[in-house]
Amino acid sequence: MDHGAGKPVDPRVLEAMTPYFTEYYGNPASFHGEGFDALKAVNQARQQVASLIGAEAGEIVFTSSATEANNLGIGGATRRYTKKGNRIVLSAIEHISSLNVGKELYREGFEIKYAPVDAEGVVELGELESLVNDKTVLVSVMAANGEIGTIQPFEEAAEIAHRSDALFHTDATAAAGQIGLETKSVDFMTLSSNDLYGPKGVGALYVKKGLRVKPQILGGGQERGIRSGSENVPGIVGMGAAAGLASAEMDAEGKRLTILRDKLIKGVTESIKESYLNGHPTLRLPNNANIRFSYIEGEALILSLDQLGIKVSSGSACTAKTLEPSHVLRAMGLKHEEAHGSLVYTLGKVNNEEHIEYVIQQMPEVVGRLRAMSPLTPEELR
């Protein structure tokens, strides 16, 4: 139940990728048959990814990850259009890769502003609008937050940015393949292969036709000169296949996961006192349940559940190695101890009703045992 950290490669995706490791091994830049076969496969994948988000194939730039795409979309665009001004506005709950790009840009002399969120993790559009001025180069608000599951009003945020002639980027890593997306209102969009049940090590950035970004990797001019380096053909083919499957199966899978998600939330919060849902109750990704438990640490819960065969997380996979409380939960106004006592369940294709029932059955005993060990637990909960 930690599909936010990593998803298995869909067997159909692996089947599509396999020939490009050994049989069709050409370089897409080569001017011969093997090269043409590889180029054709890359172009097909580009179209599949574009179709998932309502874009044109020529607007897709393949990268090594969503992290690189965030760096390219935020840093590359900001450095390309410096004549516009020096202000950048990010939501306070952006992925750590986006926030760290902002920190680097700050060191380069840019002014960084952070738009707050409400108690349910939704970006406050009025506050966002107050931060955007005529010196704003770029605004970035994610499509949905993968940690708390809250879907963001990114299209409305894009309108706010464009009213001041600022560019708009959205990180759609957690949202793509989960909810329908359109690019008509955005300038840049980040995507991740593995979050679509494709291979790790591949991502993509949507770059609206007519816009440019300053390259971060220089070389032979691949990907229209935006991202040089020989293309990872098997990985790109895998991302394309995963995007195609997501387009076809997203609605049905979303409905299935929503039923499982709601059963999990209801079962856990009703059976355990002082357990609460983090994030918006309805405007949330179909696979996400973020629940906090008073008087215990999330890390202790993770280790205890792992021994029972239940794999969960305490936050974003890219920040899990730190002992700091989630910046997302803190931005929502939670105290340190509340943020530390939160668990993230992210469901996937392999999960079924039996799994949900097992988790609901095991959680009360685990929480009760850990609370009994804590000196902070009040007597009525022991």
How far is residue 376's CA from residue 156's CA, in Å, rounded to a whole number? Answer: 43
Q: Which residues pair with 63 in a beta bridge?
A: 203
pLDDT at residue number 344? 97
pLDDT at residue number 105? 97
Relative to beta strand 136-140, strand 167-171 is parallel
Q: Which residues pair with 169 in a beta bridge?
A: 140, 188
% pLDDT > 70, the chain: 98
How far from chain centre, in Å, is Cα 313? Answer: 15
Can you tell me the mean pLDDT for 206-232? 95
Contact 228, 76 (CB under 8 A): no
The band of 261, judged by pLDDT with boundaries at 50, 70 and 90, is: very high
State the chain's mean pLDDT as an integer. 95
Q: Which structural domains are found in the chain, ordered by start?
A: 11-246 (3.40.640.10), 250-381 (3.90.1150.10)
pLDDT at residue number 314? 86
% pLDDT > 90, the chain: 93
pLDDT at residue number 322? 57
φ, ψ (nearest 5 deg) of residue 263: -65, -40
Could you tell me the pTM of the whole model? 0.96
How far is residue 233's CA from residue 39's CA, in Å, rounded to a whole number? Answer: 8
Q: Which is the catalytic residue, given 179, 217, 318, 320?
A: 318
The band of 376, judged by pLDDT with boundaries at 50, 70 and 90, is: confident
List pLDDT tens digits, range 65-78: 999 999 999 999 99
List pLDDT tens digits, range 299-351: 999 999 999 999 999 865 554 555 678 999 999 999 988 898 999 999 999 99
Can you tell me the mean pLDDT for 42-47? 98
Contact 341, 294 (CB under 8 A): yes
- Residue 380 vs residue 263, higher pLDDT: 263
Can you tell me the mean pLDDT for 14-29? 96
> Is 318 among the residues known to form the active site?
yes
How far is residue 204's CA from residue 39's CA, in Å, rounded to a whole number? Answer: 17
Residue 54 has pLDDT above 80, yes or no: yes
What 3-state class would DSSP assign to 212? coil
Relative to beta strand 136-140, strand 87-91 is parallel
Contact 261, 148 (CB under 8 A): no
pLDDT at residue number 318? 52
